[in-house]
Structure 1
C-alpha cells in the first residue's frame, strides 16, 4: 500500500475488505497450528503440549477478536493492522522457541504476517516487520551459540532474513500496482457513469430522433424524440420495424442501407396509424403524416456478434413549413404590388408584341418576338400563380371515379404534348373512388405530369400513373417516371415556394399542388419506394404520392 498519497474511498473500502480477509485467514492458521503443535499423536495416544497449546489457543482467541473488531469497528486502520502484525510476530516467535528454534522449520511461518504487512501496510511498516523477524532469528542463533556453545545455523537464519526482505519488497510493489490499477479502474468507471448520465440527458433533450437497431431491424432503444415522431407510447424498444406496417418505409430504407452502406440521407413518410396495427406489443397512434429525413451510422463493435446501428431521424415537415412561412411572409407583401405594377404593363407588352408580329415577318424579327412572347407568358404565369396563392382555393369536394378521370386526363395530356398513347401507362383503378375537387385534382396531376415528361425518356411506359394503398389501407395515387430521380439535396427544398432547378420554372407549381391537396384533405409528397417492378435498374425509386386521408 502506498502511504505517501491519499487513497480514494474505493481504495479504502478495498483495504478494509482485505484486512477482514486477513483476519479470517489468521483464525484458520491459528486452528491449524493448534492441531499441529498443541496435540502430539506420534506416541499412539493423544497428548497435549502445554506451551504450544496455550500459545495456539491464545493466538486463536486473539485472531477471533481481531476479526470481530475489524468487522464491527472500521476505524484506526493502521493501529489495528500494527497490533495484529505484532501479535502474529509474537505468537510465531514463541512457537518458534518452544519447538527448538531454526531446526524446527517454523521460520517459514513469518511469511504470513510479513506478506500481509506488505499488502496492507505502507512499505516502511512492512520493512520494519521484516527487520524485526530477521533480527529475532539472528539473535536466537547467537543465543544458541553463547548459551549452548554449539554452532548455530547462522547462514540459514541470514537466508531467511533475505527471503523476508525480498518477499516484502516484491509483494508490496505488486500490491501497490494492483491498488493503483483498481483506483484507475474506479476513476474510469466514475467518468463512464458521468458520461452516460450526460449522454442520457443530451439524447433525451435533443430534437432529432435516435433509434438503436440490430441487423434484423429490431429496436433496442430510442429517445423521446423518436417516440414522438413515430407516435409510440411508452418505450421504443423490443419490436421489429418490419412488424409495424406504418414503419415499413423506415424498415425498407434501413435494410437497403445495410445491404449497401454509404453516406447520404433518405426521406420517408410515416402515415397515420392506430394502435394495434403492428406486432410485438407496439402501442401508440399517429393522426397526421410526418416526413422524416433518415441517416444511418454503424456502431463499431470490434468484431463482436450482434452488430448495432443508429438511425437518426429528423422531422423535416417543421423545417419545410417554417421555410414556406418565411417565403410566404415576404411574398404576401409583394402580391399587391405585383398585381397592379406588373400585370398591367405586362399585358401592354404582350399586346404590343402581338401587333408587331402581324407586320414583321423576317426570320430574325420572328425569333426575337417569340423570345419576348415566351418571357411575357412566363412572367404572366408567375403572376397568376402568385395571385392564385394569395387567394385561398376553396375546395368543392365530390366523389371522383379514378378510372374514368385518369383516362380523360391521359388523353388530354398526350394531346397537349403530342405524345404517343403508350408513353403514359395507367394502372388498374377498378371502381376506386376518392373525394376531391375535380378541378383541383386535374391541376395537381397536370403539374406532376408536366414535371415527369420533362425528365422521362419518352419510351413506352416511361411515365406511370397508378392507384395503390399504403400499409394502413388508405388510398394513394402514384406518379412515377424513369428519369434520374430527385437527389436528397433537392428533395429537402422540393415543396418550398420559388425553389426550382429549371430555368423555365417559377418554383410555385409543386407548392401550389401540395396546397391544393391539403385543402382537399390529402397529402402530396415525394417518396422513395422499394419494389421489384421499379422503372429502370433501380429498386429504390422516387415518385410523387398523393395520399387521400379521407378515403380507403
Structure 2
C-alpha cells in the first residue's frame, strides 16, 4: 500500500472511519466469545479461568481502543499496530486456553490480519501474519515434545499459508480501492473547484441564463435572469427532472415572448430573437414575481450536448439591450444636438432656395424629361425638409401639460380626421371600446404619435374593413395600454432589432425618425412605446404584431 502521508484529507478521513469500524468489530467479537463462554458453562463444560480472564481483558482492551480511536485522531499507524499486536496476543492466549488447534479459534487470526492488510502497509501486515503463523507452528511443535499421538503440525502449516495468502490478496485489493478512492477524491475536488468557478461566473455575469428542457420547463437560472424577468428567487430553484419549484415558460403570459422565441428556435433553428417583457405582477400560481418596468431582451439559444441524448437541455442567454439602446440613442442625440445649432441657417435656407428655384424652372420647362427631373428634385427637397423638421422637433420637446385625455372622444375624433385626410373608407379603421378611461398624455403629442403609427399601418394593411385597429386594454399592473395593429405581415426579427433607432428605415422615402420621435414623445409623457410580436388580439383578428403605448398611472 502507498504511504499514508501523501493521501488527501478525504482519504485520511476514510482511514479513520475504517479504524473505528475495526474497533467496533473487535467489540462484537469479544461479546461473541463471552456468550460462547457463558453457553458452555451452562452446559456444564469446564472452561479454565485463563480463558474467562482473557475474554474479559480483551473486552476491556477493545473498549479502550474504541474510545481512543474516537477521541484522539493522531498517530494512525501507532494505534493500528498496537491494536493488531493486542489482537494477536489475546487470540493466542485464547487459542492455548481452549485446547489449541482442535478448538477452531485459529480462524480468529483472520480478523486482525485482514484489518492490517487493509489499513497498514504490506510489510506490517506480513509481519502480523508471520507472528500468527510462528505461534501456531510453535504450539504444534511443543505438543510433539509432549508426546501427543497426532500433533496438528500439518494443519498449523496450512493455516499459516492461508494467513499469508489472505494478507497478500486483501492488501492488493485494498491498495487498488485506495488508489481509486484517491483518484475519485481528487477528481471530486477538481469538480468542486470548477463548480465554484462556474457559480461565480454565472452569478456575477450581467447576462441572464436559463436552463430549459425541450418542453420549455425552466430548471435553473442565474440572478441576472431573475432580475430581468422579475421572478422571485424560488421560481428558479428546480431540480433536474422537473422536481422543485420550476415552471414552464408557457405558464406565464408575461413570459410568452420568450417561450415563442424558444419554440421558433427549436422548430426551425431561428436566429437570435429580440423580445419585450412587459410589466407584470403575480403572487399566486406557478410563476410568481413582479416587473415594474418593461425590458427589451436579446435572446440567444444553445443546445447542451448531453451524453447519448439522455436529457435534452438548452440554454437561453438573455441580454438586456435597453441600456445599450439608450446609450446608442444618446450618442446620436448628441450628434443631432450639434447639428441642430446650425441647421436653420446652414440647411433650411439653401433648401428653400433650391425649392424656389425648382418651382420657377417648372413654369418654363414643360418637356417630359425636364418634368421628371424637376419632380425628383422636388421630392428630395421635401424629404430633406421633413428630416430637418423632425430633427428640430427633438430640440423643442416640452413637458406635457393640460387636462387628461379622454380616450374615447379623442380616438373617435382622430379617426374621423385621419380617414378624411388620407381618403380612407370609414370602416377601414376600427376603434375599440375605451369606456370612460382617461390617460395622462399631452393631446398634441398623442395625436402626433398615433398619426405616425397609423401612417405606417396604411402602408401594410390590406385595406379591408377593420384592417387597422386601435383598442385600449389594461395590463397586469392596472396601466392603460393602447394597441395599434394592422393585418399586414409582421415586422421581421432583423428589423425589430433596430426599429426605434434614429435614421434607421426600410423605406426609400422615409427619414428613419418617425418611430424614434414617437417613442421620445411617449417618454416625454412618462409613457412607453414598444412593438410586441405575438398573435392575439380582438376576436377574428390575428395579426403577428402590434405597437403598444403604455400610459403612466
| TM-score, length-scaled by structure 2 | 0.84
Equivalences for residues 496-515 of structure 1 within 5 A: 496-515=501-520
Which residue in 1 is equivalent to 2:71? 72
CA contact (8 A) 1:230 1:270 kept: no
Equivalences for residues 173-188 of structure 1 within 5 A: 173-188=172-187
How far apart, in 1, do the equivalents of 2:306 and 2:502 lie?
45
Q: Unaligned regions of 5+ residues in structure 2, if any?
A: 238-244
Q: 1:242 to 1:81 in 2, by over 3 A?
A: closer
Of residues 391-400 and 294-303 in structure 1, the stretch that sits farther from structure 2 once superposed is: 294-303
Aligned residues: 543
Equivalences for residues 138-217 of structure 1 within 5 A: 138-145=137-144, 147-148=146-147, 150=149, 152-210=151-209
Q: Pairwise CA RMSD of aligned residues?
A: 3.8
Measure how far apart 1:307 and its partner are: 9.0
2:379 aligned to which of 363, 374, 379: 374
Q: 1:326 to 1:107 in 2, by over 3 A?
A: same
CA contact (8 A) 1:240 1:280 kept: no
Secondary structure, aligned partner of 1:40: helix
Which residue in 2 is equivalent to 1:82? 81
Q: 1:38 to 1:52 in 2, by over 3 A?
A: farther
Which residue in 1 is equivalent to 2:241? none
How far apart, in 2, do the equivalents of 1:315 and 1:260 lie?
19
Equivalences for residues 261-280 of structure 1 within 5 A: 261=266, 263=270, 264-271=272-279, 278-279=283-284
Measure how far apart 1:259 and its partner are: 9.0
Residues 113-172 of structure 1: CA distance to partner in whole angstroms, max 9, x if unpaired? 111111111122112222332333344444444553755455533432332223222222
CA contact (8 A) 1:425 1:465 kept: yes
Equivalences for residues 299-338 of structure 1 within 5 A: 312-338=317-343
CA contact (8 A) 1:402 1:431 kept: yes
How far apart, in 2, do the equivalents of 1:523 and 1:39 lie?
92
How far apart, in 2, do the equivalents of 1:159 and 1:242 lie?
70
Q: Is 1:363–2:363 an aligned residue pair?
A: no
Q: Is 1:60–2:59 an aligned residue pair?
A: yes
Secondary structure, aligned partner of 1:500: coil
CA contact (8 A) 2:535 2:545 kept: no
Residues 17-65 of structure 1: CA distance to partner in whole angstroms, max 9, x if unpaired? 22122122112212322443586348x4363322322332332232222
Which residue in 2 is equivalent to 1:109? 108
How far apart, in 1, do the equivalents of 2:474 and 2:310 lie?
38
Which residue in 2 is equivalent to 1:470? 475
CA contact (8 A) 1:219 1:236 kept: no
Q: Is 1:7–2:7 an aligned residue pair?
A: yes
Which residue in 1 is equivalent to 2:548? 545
Which residue in 2 is equivalent to 1:19? 19
Measure how far apart 1:454 and its partner are: 2.4
Q: 1:471 to 1:72 in 2, by over 3 A?
A: closer
Measure how far apart 1:381 and its partner are: 0.9
